[in-house]
Amino acid sequence: MGADWPSEASCSLPHQSTSAKCERTFIESSRKGQLLSDERLRVAEFKERDLNHPDHRKLQLHASKIHQIREGILHDHDHDSRSHDFSHAVSLLEVSFGEADALLAFKDGIGNYSEGALDDWTPGKRSEYCSWTRVTCNRQLHVTALHLSSLYLTGSLGPSLSNLSYLEELRLDQNFLKSEIPPELGRLSRLRILNLEDNLLYGSIPKELGNLTSLQVLNLGYQGWWFNGTIPKELGQLSELWFLNLGAVNRWYSEKVYYMTARNELRGTIPRSLGNCTKLEYLDFYSSRYLTGVIPEELGKLIHLSFLSFEANNFTGAVPHQLENLTKCDYLDFRNNALQGHLPAGLANLSRLVVLDVGNNFFTGNLVDVISTSLSELSWFNAALNSFTGTFLELLLSCNNLLTLDLSYNIFSGNLPADLGRLSSAKSIDICGNMFGGEIPESITNISLLTYLDLSINNFTGTLYALKNSTLLEILNPGNLGSDIGSMVQNSFTGSLTDEMVRSWRKMVRLDLSYNTLIGNIPRAVGNLTQLLYLDLSRNKLDGGIPEELGNLQKLYWLYLTDNELTGKILTSLANLEEVYAIRLGGNKLTGSIPQEFGNFTKISELSLHMNNLSGEIPRDLGKLQTLRFPNLYKNNLTSTIPITLTNCSALWTIELSHNSLRGGLTHIDFAKMEYLYLLSVSGNQFIGFFPITLWNCSYLQLVDLSRNHFSGMLPKFDVLNPQLLHRPSQKINLRSLRVLS
């Protein structure tokens, strides 16, 4: 999907919508994160400049290039710079060592470094600077290269290195340097490679870098939020440049703990002058976030580009038709911007494209002119979250190398082609949120590598029989959760699930068949899907009991069987779900008591058993659930009192016990220990006694419903406009958030 996912911090918020997003985030992040790593090489690792191998797979070529940039083994044209042993010449050195002084001045600005990295950089060995660690000199004893990558360097990048006038390669990537980029570096007229990627640099890109007329590689990616200046137009003077990274392509490899947010925040527009850098092969603006304006048509002059990414910015307007000239391009990414209009038809002529991503924009029109049979190398196509129209693109079936297809959340309609199975290499197909109809083509079983299938929120009909032999399928969502993770939610699938069908899904990680009209029993074979993390069969017409075999799903995080016609008891075998985070069994016809063994859950956050026919007491052992936030036992036949052990559930956000036959009082519950409690509903029971004073210490409390009980005594006085206690300072109230008191 093209949507951004909630952070781990946001997943702690007590909102249903956020909770649903978090459910899908857990799986979707691992699924698409892996696909991005495998297919798009989002790290953008670039190819070696080996002109003898023009036909290598493009993504492998990207990988090789950045790897060599990092490892310091880039062999560029006829240049061969290597270290020499100068020990035999040390006694002859009678000259001043200005370059050694420049290196020592640089070290003075460094705080820490990995063990032994710069230990031999000392004034006492000043005459031996050409043999210092990671220093390369030429035969004239001039420093030509500094390979200081991945040394955990802290401190600042001072101007002293600008005195190394013969320097050709400066590699400081993957460190922790925190400073501005010294404009003095613009004096290094021989510099060919400047790699500062993955540091903590801030401020702007100095316009003086435009003076580096020999520069071939400029890598400033992945600095952080404080690297927030504009892109100087002077970079357009770098006529030898073939690699320019201003984005965050290598974020997957960073060791920084804040890696998810350490992206550049460059602002302003893309200078039109970059169109003068006609040797560019790699150009990346990924996730600078605040780059705006239109995409300059001058970029169409960069006919040697093989990698071009505008992803995750705020670019507007249409895609310039001049980009049709980029016939060597194999990676083209417009995702997550505000681009609009029709895509240029000439993109169909970019026959080398491996990745084409136009997701999450405002594009319109029909893609039939963009997708052609010439795109035989296409491996990744994402058009999600736009307003494209028309039927399923039959021409996509000619893309024999297609691994990932995402057409979700557009306005596509019509039936899927009967020969959909021609996409024999596909691993992921997502067409949710459209208006497709008809039955699932049986040829889909020919897609033997398919692991992710999302057909949700469409108008499909018929049965799931076509999926009976999908043995590699990991994520199946045929029908109305509205989640972006693999689903078949919200269609009109009918019939029943069979053990034969389910057994073939042995690699399934997520199974979501909710919001359909499936009938019959839950197959016992579901218990054999031991890789399942998510099981949602809610909002169907399933009947019978809950199979005991579901207790075998040791990896299961989410179990949703809500709103069916299930009967019988809740089996104790469900207590074997050691990893479970949420259990929803509400809206059925379950009977019997709540198993005491449910108190053994160690990670559960939500337990929803509402609207059943459960009886007996609330188990005392539920008080052992230290992670429980949302217990919902509404509308059952529960009796006796609320166990005092519930006080131990300090993580509670809601308590929903209304419409049962509970009795006794509430004063024995120390609500003050539930500091996050924001909802208490016990209406429609047989409670007696006084109002629980400890409830006043729940500062997040927003709703209290005690109605239809037999409470007695007096309530404190409230100001209806500001629910704070007016008098009685001996019972200080801390209800800052209360909205409803019933």
> Which tokens sit at 703?
């709703």
Cα–Cα distances in Å, from 204 out to 225, 238, 265, 531?
Answer: 12, 18, 10, 48
Distance CA 57, CA 425 (A): 16
* CATH top-level class of 57-84+96-429+439-444: alpha beta
Indicate the pLDDT class of residue 10, thresholds 50, 70 and 90: very low
- Report phi then psi at 702, rounded to 5: -115, -30
Residue 313 has pLDDT above 80, yes or no: yes
Distance between CA atoms of residues 516 and 492, nearest Å:
5
Return the SS3 of 521: coil
pLDDT tens string 162-197: 999 999 999 999 999 999 999 999 999 999 999 999
What's the average model confidence in pLDDT over 301-306?
98
**In this predicted structure, which of 184-193, 339-348, 513-522, 539-548 has the lowest mean pLDDT?**
513-522
Q: Is the pLDDT of residue 200 over 90?
A: yes
Dist CA 428 CA 35 (whole Å): 9
Task: State the pTM of this model.
Answer: 0.72
Pairing of strands 606-608, 582-584: parallel
Q: What is the pLDDT of residue 97?
A: 77
List b or e across 699-725, with b for residues whose CB sees 16 or more CB atoms inside 10 angstroms.
ebbbebbbeebebeeeebeeeeeebeb
Note the pLDDT tens digit of each residue in 549-599: 999 999 999 999 999 999 999 999 999 999 999 999 999 999 999 999 999
SS3 686: strand
Give the pLDDT confidence of 476-497 residue by residue, as tens digits. Answer: 554 432 222 235 667 667 778 8
Contact 305, 328 (CB under 8 A): yes
The yes-or-no verdict on residue 505 having pLDDT over 90 is no
Cα distances from 207 to residues 551, 577, 735, in angstroms, run 64, 60, 56
CA distance 57 to 379: 11
User: What number is the average pLDDT over the span 609-625?
Assistant: 97
E strand residue ranges, 528-564: 534-536, 541-544, 558-560
| Full DSSP string of 438-462 | EPPPGGGGG-TT--EEE--SSEEEE
How crowded is the C-beta side of 167, counted as CA atoms within 13 Å?
24
DSSP 230: B
H helices within 92-236, ranges in order? 98-108
For residue 727, pLDDT over 80 is answered with no
The average confidence (pLDDT) of the chain is: 82
**Rounded to 5, what percent of the chain is helix, strand, coil?**
25, 20, 55
CB 675 within 8 A of CB 652: no
How far is C-alpha 661 from the chain's CA centre?
Answer: 45
* Residue 415 confidence (pLDDT) above 90: yes
- Amino acid letter for position 352: R
User: 262 falls in which pLDDT band (50, 70, 90)?
Assistant: low
Please state, in angstroms and rounded to a whole number, the distance separating the CA atoms of residues 441 and 432. 16
Question: DSSP secondary structure string, 288-322?
Answer: -SEE-SPPPGGGGG-TT-SEEE--SS--EEPPPGG
The answer to whether 726 and 719 have CB atoms below 8 angstroms apart is yes
